[in-house]
Amino acid sequence: MERIKKSVTRGKAVSITLDGKRIKAYENETVGMSILAAGKRTLARSLKYHRPRSMFCSTGTCHRCLMEIDGIPNRRACLTLVRDGMVIRSQNSFPNAEKDLFAFIDKFSNYLQTSIYHHHFLKPKFLRQSYLKVLKKFTGLGRLDLHQPVLTIPESKTPRPLKKLKSEIVIAGGSLTGLSAALSAADSGASVLVLEEKKSLNGQLSEKKRSGLLDTDFLRYRSRLNELEAKVRDHPGIEFWQGAILTGIYEGIHLGVVSPDDGIAELPKTSLIIATGAYDALPVFRNNELPGIFSARLVEKMIYDYGIKPGRRALIWGSTKLACSVAEALIGAKTMISGFVTISPTVSGKLSEVAEDLGVKVWTDSVIFDVKGKQEVNSAIIQNKVNGKLKEVKSDLIVICHLQPRYELQLHAGCEMVFDEQSGGLVARTDSMLRSTQERVYVAGEALGIEKSNDLCVAEGILAGYVAAQDIGHSRDGALLEEFTSEMEKFAVLKEAEQISIDSKKGEGYVCFCQDVKAHELLGENETLKKEMLDDFHTELIKRRTGILTGPCQGKSCLCNFLRILAKSDDQDPSHYPIPTVRPPVTPLKINDLALGAHNGRTDV
Binding site for ligand FES (CB under 6 A): 55-58, 60-65, 76, 78
Looking at the DSSP bridge assignments, the partners of residue 512 are 517
- Using CA atoms, how far apart are residues 532 and 530, in angstroms rounded to an integer? 5
Q: Toward ligand FES, which CB reaches closer, 37 or 57?
A: 57
CA-closest candidate to residue 184, choices 564, 504, 459, 562: 459
Q: Provide the minimum distance between the beta carbon of 281 and ligand FES in the complex, in angstroms, as a whole number.
A: 12
Q: Provide the minimum distance between the beta carbon of 60 and ligand FES in the complex, in angstroms, as a whole number.
A: 5
Q: Provide the minimum distance between the beta carbon of 563 and ligand FES in the complex, in angstroms, as a whole number.
A: 21
- Using CA atoms, how far apart are residues 100 and 262, in angstroms rounded to an integer? 42
Q: Toward ligand FES, which CB reaches closer, 306 or 363?
A: 306
- Enter the DSSP assignment of 229: H
Q: Toward ligand FES, which CB reaches closer, 78 or 105?
A: 78
- Using CA atoms, how far apart are residues 172 and 600, in angstroms rounded to an integer? 24
Q: Toward ligand FES, which CB reaches closer, 57 or 322?
A: 57
Strand order in the sheet with 366-372: 366-372, 379-384, 390-394
Query: What DSSP line would sit under 361-374, residue for residue?
Result: EEETTEEEEEEE-S
Q: Toward ligand FES, which CB reaches closer, 66 or 428?
A: 66
Q: Toward ligand FES, which CB reaches closer, 65 or 417?
A: 65
- Using CA atoms, how far apart are residues 467 and 480, in angstroms rounded to an integer? 11
Helix (H) or strand (E) holding 196: strand 192-196
Q: Toward ligand FES, which CB reaches closer, 32 or 465?
A: 32
Q: Provide the minimum distance between the beta carbon of 548 and ligand FES in the complex, in angstroms, as a whole number.
A: 18
CA-closest candidate to residue 326, choices 375, 280, 288: 280
- Using CA atoms, how far apart are residues 497 and 421, in angstroms rounded to an integer? 7
> Which residues have CB under 8 Å from 579's CB, separation 6+?
411, 417, 426, 539, 559, 563
Q: Provide the minimum distance between the beta carbon of 328 and ligand FES in the complex, in angstroms, as a whole number.
A: 22
Q: Provide the minimum distance between the beta carbon of 280 and ligand FES in the complex, in angstroms, as a whole number.
A: 8
Q: Provide the minimum distance between the beta carbon of 33 and ligand FES in the complex, in angstroms, as a whole number.
A: 10
* Helix residue ranges per DSSP H, 157-254: 176-187, 216-234
Q: Provide the minimum distance between the beta carbon of 302 and ligand FES in the complex, in angstroms, as a whole number.
A: 11
Q: Toward ligand FES, which CB reaches closer, 289 or 460?
A: 289
Q: Provide the minimum distance between the beta carbon of 41 and ligand FES in the complex, in angstroms, as a whole number.
A: 12
Contacts by 5-14, CB closer than 8 A, 24 or more apart: 7/210, 7/303, 7/307, 7/333, 8/209, 8/210, 8/304, 8/305, 8/306, 8/307, 9/209, 10/307, 14/82, 14/83, 14/84, 14/85, 14/86
Q: Provide the minimum distance between the beta carbon of 578 and ligand FES in the complex, in angstroms, as a whole number.
A: 27
Looking at the DSSP bridge assignments, the partners of residue 265 are 255
Q: Provide the minimum distance between the beta carbon of 392 and ligand FES in the complex, in angstroms, as a whole number.
A: 28
- Using CA atoms, how far apart are residues 202 and 193, in angstroms rounded to an integer? 19
Q: Provide the minimum distance between the beta carbon of 157 and ligand FES in the complex, in angstroms, as a whole number.
A: 32
Q: Toward ligand FES, which CB reaches closer, 30 or 184?
A: 30
Kindly report the number of other CB atoms within 10 A of residue 487's CB atom: 17
Q: Provide the minimum distance between the beta carbon of 58 and ligand FES in the complex, in angstroms, as a whole number.
A: 5
Q: Toward ligand FES, which CB reaches closer, 76 or 518?
A: 76
Residue 316, helix vs strand vs coil: strand
Half-sphere exposure of 80 (CA within 13 A, CB side): 24
Cβ atoms of residues 455 and 491 within 8 Å: yes
Q: Provide the minimum distance between the beta carbon of 8 and ligand FES in the complex, in angstroms, as a whole number.
A: 20
Cβ atoms of residues 30 and 21 within 8 Å: no
Amino acid letter, residue 347: V
Cβ atoms of residues 377 and 292 within 8 Å: yes
Q: Toward ligand FES, which CB reaches closer, 368 or 514?
A: 514
Q: Toward ligand FES, which CB reaches closer, 366 or 554?
A: 554
- Using CA atoms, how far apart are residues 594 and 245, in angstroms rounded to an integer? 12
- Using CA atoms, how far apart are residues 364 and 355, in angstroms rounded to an integer? 12
Beta strands 361-363; 366-372: pairing state: unpaired
Q: Provide the minimum distance between the beta carbon of 62 and ligand FES in the complex, in angstroms, as a whole number.
A: 3
Q: Toward ligand FES, which CB reaches closer, 63 or 564?
A: 63
Q: Toward ligand FES, which CB reaches closer, 297 or 452?
A: 297
- Using CA atoms, how far apart are residues 496 and 344, in angstroms rounded to an integer? 10
Kindly report the number of other CB atoms within 10 A of residue 374's CB atom: 11
Q: Toward ligand FES, which CB reaches closer, 78 or 225?
A: 78
